[in-house]
Chain A
Amino acid sequence: MPITLASFLQIDLPAMLAALLATVSCGLLGNFLVLRRQSLMGDAISHAVLPGIVLAFLFWGSRATWPMFFGAACAGVLAAVIIELVRRLGRLDSGTAMGVVFSVFFAGGVVLMEQAAAHAVDLDADCVLYGQLEDILWLAPTDLASLLEPAVWADMPREVTTLALTLAVVSAVVLLFYKELKLTSFDPELATTLGFPAGLFNVLLMVLVAAVAVAAFEAVGSILVIAMFICPAAAARLFTDRLGRQIWLSLGFAVVAALGGYLLAASAPLWAGVPSALAASGMIAVVAGALLGVAVLFAPRYGALARAMRPSELAEARERAAAEPLATNLSNR
C-alpha cells in the first residue's frame, strides 16, 4: 500500500497517537510499580480485567467504552483485593497468591468469551490479548489543512479520546499526590505514621493501574500493556537515582518505544520484505524491551557492563574505609 498523506492521517496518525498515549500513561504509573516492587501487580491486574470486560460487554451488548471500562476496573480492583485476602488468609507468598487469582480470573474471562462468541458478537480473544492498533481509524482528516477544523477533531476515534482522558487523569493524580506517592512508595510505615495512609494510596495506585490497563488494552492488548508498565520505568531506573529525573526519562523511553515500535512495524514491508505491516503492539513491546536491554547492559553506573568494568571494588572499598572515622581501631593495629 503506497503511503499517502491521507492514509498517514487516517490510519497511521490515530494509531500512533493511541500508542503514544497508552505507553506514556503506563510508563508514568510504572515508575511507582517498579519502585514498590509491585511490577507483577500490573501483570496480574491486566490479566484479571478480562472477565470484567467480557461481562460488561455481554451485559450491555456493545463495545461502548464506559461499561467496559467500568467492568474492567471492577474486575481489576476485585482481583487486587482478592489477591491480598488470599495472601493473608491463606498464609501464601504474594507470588503464589497472584498466580492463583489472576489465572483463575483470566480463565473465567476465556470461558465467558467463548459464551459471548456464541451470541455472534464481535469480541474476539485476539483483540483482548494483543489489542488492535491497526483498526483505529480516523476518517475525518483528508489533508493537513483539514487538521485545523474543529469538526475533524471532534471525529477523533473513541479509543484515542479515551486514552487522552486517561492520561490526563493519571497525570493529574500523579502531579497532585506526587509527594505522597513518593513517600508511600519509599517507606509505607513512615508515611502512615506521618498521616498519609499508605494503604489508601496503594488502592489508589491499583485503581489507576486497572484504569490504564483497560484504556490501553484496546490499543496494545492485555499482555503487552505489562511491557509498557515496566520497561520504560525499569530502564530509567538504571540511569538515575532521582525519582523526578527517572519519571521524565521513563516518559521519554515510552515515547521512543511507541513511535519507534509503530514505525518499525509499519515499515516492515520496506526492511523485512513482507507483503504487509507486522504487529505494531508487539513491536512496541519489543522496542521497549530493547531499550531496557540497552539500559541493563550499558547504563553508565548501574548497567551490567559498567559493574563488571568498574576498576576494582577493592580500591573503592579502600577509599571508603579510609574516609570512615574508625581511628581507634586503626590505632590498635
Chain B
Amino acid sequence: MSIGHETTVWPSLDETLRVLTFQGGFNTSVVLVGVTLLGVAAGLVGTFAVLRRRALMSDTLSHATLPGITLAFIAAVMLGASGRSLPVLLAGAALSGILGVLTVQFISRHTRLPEDAAMGAVLSVFFGLGFVLLSYIQTMATGEQGGIGKFIYGQTATMGVTDATVIGIVALGTTLASLLLFKEFRLVCFDPDYATVLGWRISLIDLAMMALVVAVTVVGLRAVGLILVIALVVIPPAAARFWTERLWVMAVVAAFLGGLSGYLGAAASALFPRFPAGGIIVLVAGFFFLLSLLFAPARGVLAAGFRQLRLRRDIASQHLLRGLFEAGEAGGGEAVPAAALRSRVHGPAARLALTRLTWQGLIARRPDGLRLTPKGREEALRITRNHRLWEQFLMAYADLAPSHVDHSADLVEHVLSSDMVQELERQLRARGRLPRHAGPPPSPHPLASGA
C-alpha cells in the first residue's frame, strides 16, 4: 500500500522555490532560519561531544529535561504566572538536564556501575518522572497544558520570532565559544591525561563543553523535540568525520551538514502536510550520514574499498611481473603460458592487473602466452631487485628461514619507500651482499614458477 496517498499533495516547483528562498511567508521563513541556525550550532558543538564520546550523554541530557520543564510549568502556574513563559520552561529544562548529567557522573564515579548503565537509568527515570508530572499537569485546570507536549516531539510550526532569535543568539554564542575554546576542546578530546599534566582542569573544559550541549539542546527542544534533538548533535558530526582528517574541517562540515539538514527538513515540513519537522530533519541528516558513510573520499566505505582494490591490484601486478621475470630467468626469455602463472596470480585483482599491465604496454599477450615487453622487463627487473634485496635484508637482520622469506617479503615490499630501498642497497653493499652487476641478486630459494 502507499502511505498517505490521499493526503500528500505534491507542492509545485514554484511553491518549493518560494519556500526555499525564504519567500514562502513570514512564519515559514522564520522557522527556516531558526532551524538552520539550530542545525549549525548543534553540528558545531556536537563535533566535540562526539569526539569526547559524549554522544549518549547528550541523549541522556535531552531526555532528562522533561521533569524540569514540567516542574517549571507547575511552579509557574502555582505562583500565578503563565505556564507558557518560555524562559521559565527552558531554565527548568536546563537545570534538570544538568542534574541528570551530574547524577550519571556521581553514579559512575562512586559505584561499580558502568557509565552506560548509569546513563540508561537516569535517562529513563528522569523521563518517567517527567511523565508522571505531565499527568499531574493534566489534572490541573489551567488549559495551558497543550504547550508542554510540544517539547517531546517538537513543533516548528509554532516557532515565532522570539524562538528564532533565541536560537540565533545561542548559535552565535556557541560558535564564539567553540572558536575560543577550540584548543582546549581538541586537547581534552584527544588526550585528557596529558591535559591534566599540562595543568588544565579537564573538569572545567568538560563542563564548558557540556554547557554548550545543554544550550543547544534546550533551545532545540521546541523545534525538534527532546527525543530527536540529540540527533542534531550526533549525526552531522558523525557524518562530517568521513570527509576529513582535520578537526576544524570536521567542525565546519558538521555545522554545514547540520544547517543544511535543518533547512531542508524545515522546508519539507512546510511544503508537505503531515511531515513533522523534527522527524524529517533527522531523516535528512540521516540521509547525509548514509551518503558520507558510503561516498566520502577520505574515510567512506567505497573509497576504502577502492583503495583496498587498488592495493591488491598493485600487488598482483608486481607478482605478475616478477613471475614473468623469474620464468624468463629460468627458461631464457620465452613467452609464458598464463596457466603457468596461475599459482601466483589469480582472482579479480590479478585479472585487473593483467589488463592494466597490457594496456600500459608492460606485458604483451602472444598466442603462446604472456611476454614482457622491453619496458616491462625494466620494471620487472626493478621490482624483482627490490624484492630480493628485502629478502636478503630480512635474512640478515631477522634470522628468518629462507623458506619463510618469500611470503613476508611480499608483504613488506609494498610498504617500502624508494628511499628505504636505497638505504637497503647501501647497507647490503657495505656488507658486500649486493651483487656487482646491474641485475637482481640471485633468489635465495628455488624458483617455484619456472615454466
Listed in ascending order, the chain A residues whose CB lies under 8 Å from chain B are: 34, 37-40, 42-43, 47, 58-59, 86, 89-93, 95-100, 103-104, 106-112, 114-119, 125, 129-130, 223-227, 229-231, 233-234, 237-238, 265, 268, 272, 274-279, 281-286, 288-289, 292, 296, 299, 302-304, 307-308
Contacts and interface: CB of A to CB of B under 8 A. Distances in A.
Given A99-B230, A282-B127, A282-B130, 16 more contacts: A37-B116, A39-B121, A43-B123, A89-B293, A90-B301, A100-B235, A103-B230, A107-B279, A107-B281, A107-B282, A110-B153, A125-B153, A223-B124, A265-B132, A289-B125, A296-B106
Contacts of A93: 53, 55
Contacts of B130: 282
A10 to B, nearest CB: 21
Nearest 4 CB-CB pairings of A with B: A285-B128, A289-B125, A282-B131, A107-B282
Which of B53, B54, B131, B139 has the most CB atoms of chain A within a 10 A radius of its CB?
A: B131
Interface string B283-313: 1011001000100000101000000000000
B278 A110 contact: yes
Contacts of B58: 99
B53 A307 contact: no
B56 A92 contact: no
Given A103-B235, A223-B127, A237-B113, A278 B283 contact: no
A136 B70 CA distance: 26
Contact of A230 (B121, B126, B131): B121
25 contacts: A40-B119, A43-B120, A43-B124, A95-B53, A99-B55, A99-B230, A99-B235, A99-B238, A103-B235, A103-B286, A104-B282, A107-B283, A108-B279, A110-B279, A111-B275, A116-B3, A230-B117, A230-B120, A278-B135, A281-B131, A282-B130, A283-B132, A285-B124, A289-B126, A304-B111
Interface string B50-71: 1001111011000100000000
Contacts of B264: none
Contacts of A307: 110-111
B259 interface: no
B267 interface: no
A272 B124 CA distance: 23
Contacts of B121: 39, 227, 230-231, 234, 289, 292
Interface string B120-152: 110111111111101110010000000000001
A227 B285 CA distance: 28
B4 interface: yes
A285 B125 contact: yes
B173 interface: no
A98 to B, nearest CB: 7
B1 to A, nearest CB: 7
A90 B238 contact: yes
Contacts of B117: 34, 37, 39, 230, 233-234, 237
Majority SS at the chain A contact face: helix
Nearest to A126: B149
B246 interface: no
B234 A278 contact: no
Given A107-B231, A281-B128, A303-B111, A92 B282 contact: no
B112 interface: yes
B276 interface: yes
Nearest to A91: B299
A227 B125 contact: yes
B63 A223 contact: yes
Nearest to B50: A96
Band of interface residues on B: 35 or more
Contacts of B53: 93, 95-96
Given A106-B228, A118-B4, A229-B120, A238 B276 contact: no
Contacts, number: 229
A104 B139 contact: no
Contact of A104 (B113, B129, B235): B235
B222 interface: no
Contacts of B1: 58-59
Given A89-B301, A98-B56, A115 B129 contact: no
Given A104-B231, A237-B112, A224 B128 contact: yes
Nearest to A97: B238
Given A90-B293, A96-B238, A302-B111, A40 B131 contact: no
B59 to A, nearest CB: 6
B196 to A, nearest CB: 22
B274 interface: yes
B242 interface: yes
B132 A286 contact: yes
B241 interface: yes
Contacts of B286: 100, 103-104, 107
B274 A114 contact: yes
B161 to A, nearest CB: 26
A245 to B, nearest CB: 15
